[in-house]
Amino acid sequence: MGIELSNPLTLPCGAVMPNRIAKGAMTEGLATPDGRPTAELERLYGIWADGGAGMLLTGNIIIDKDHLERPGNVVIDQKPDADMAKRLASWAKAGTRTGNHLWAQISHGGRQTQKLVNPNPKSSSDVALALPGGQFGKPTPLSKDEIADLVNRWAIAAKACRNAGFTGVQVHGAHGYLISQFLSPRVNLRTDEYGGSLENRARLLLEVVKAVRTAVGADFPISVKLNSADFQKGGFAFEDSIAVVKWLEAASVDLIEISGGTYEQPKLMGVEGMEEEEAQNVAPSTAAREAYFVDFAKAMQSEVAVPLMVTGGFRTRAAMEQALDIGAADVVGLGRPMCLMTDAPTQLMTGLDALPRYEDNLDLIPKWLGFLKRLQIMKAINGFAGIYWFYEQLWMLGHQGRVDESFPVFKAFRAVEARNKAIMKARG
């Protein structure tokens, strides 16, 4: 008999996940304007803890208040004061109330920080995002002193989360955020020890992992989220990813989540980007075809022994179990389905065959204007509007403990935009 979703997993540090299903990281936008956890975050994660996942990953917890992934992020950019420590502990208690793991995803937006948050964000270099609309400013390169400060902040945030009762942390090194910007030869044009060769471009990530391990100790799970590839010409490629995974394994990382894409090429969201996708040299498999990154994880498993997690696209129990059986994944991550079916893990482990594909009916553009969908920019807008619909479901879960499948996509898009502006106004 093969590996089942209900089987436990022992991580290299000795921690045990009670089953193989994780709630993937999804941005919540439920913190106070100054980045403190709220009762709404507690309600949301309590609901998810009741849903049966062996591990819950938080959305971005930001280490610099001026580099949010979105307004409403939790921010830990210094040692928490008494109020912050209390709020973090309440969040952790709610999110682990059924004996499951709760891991804090720690991140920095870098150049993917919106202008309404910071018109001059920091990045590896001064390469601006190639996106229309003027939502992102031209970045300035981080100095080496600033890099050292950020490494320390990752460690401070990780220690604060362990002290609060979180059971693990994830360093976000994917999706075009700051560490991913350093890894990409397309974005990182530095000529010092943080640029040039892959070893140099991976230096920030490895320094962060080392600092976090020192801060949390040997028995605490550390995960890294890493792109299998950026899927962009001249970007971080699959061959680069395999090399970095080997270095991370040697650096005592306990779980690596394989993902892919950036804001410019949002493969992670199943949304079409603004440019043609760059093909990667990985053999296609016939297994688990519904999941975005299974083939990349399968190829990696032949190179390393560190446990891998794959999130993105899974909707059938058969595909999830097949991915486990063939060694393409040790942990299956679920994202958007858990915005509405919050007990999806329990249902899958007790016999449910397939999860609903809510995203299939979330077009912002009406059918009678279908010709607009052929325009590249409209494809992107349509896709991101659908993502905002899931944001709205999380807002309702946190505030009211309910969801609304009939909520209009356009109304959700406007509600999220208005809420983002209100949060930034309250920040002053």
Query: Residue 61 forms beta bridges with which residues?
Result: 74, 106
φ, ψ at 56 (rounded to 5°) = -110, 130
Q: How far apart are CA 94 and CA 398, in angstroms?
A: 12
For the record, the structure tokens of 244 come out as: 């970095």
Q: Are the C-beta atoms of residues 188 and 123 closer than 8 Å to each other? A: no
Give the three-state DSSP class for 173: strand
**Superfamily classification of domain 9-358:** Aldolase class I (3.20.20.70)
Domain coordinates in residue numbering, the chain: 9-358
**Tens digit of pLDDT at every position of the chain (428 positions):** 578 999 999 999 999 999 999 999 999 999 999 999 999 999 999 999 999 999 999 999 999 999 999 999 999 999 999 999 999 999 999 999 999 999 999 999 999 999 999 999 999 999 998 766 678 899 999 999 999 999 999 999 999 999 999 999 999 999 889 999 999 999 999 999 999 999 999 999 999 999 999 999 999 999 999 987 656 566 677 888 899 999 999 999 999 998 876 665 554 444 444 444 444 444 454 444 556 778 888 888 888 999 999 988 899 999 999 999 988 899 999 999 999 999 999 999 999 999 998 887 776 655 545 555 555 555 556 666 788 999 999 999 999 999 999 999 889 989 999 999 999 999 87
Backbone angles phi, psi at 173, to 5 degrees: -115, 20
The pLDDT of residue 326 is: 87
Amino acid at 17: M
pTM: 0.91
Which alpha helices (DSSP H) does 140-285 contain, by range?
A: 144-164, 178-183, 198-201, 203-216, 238-250
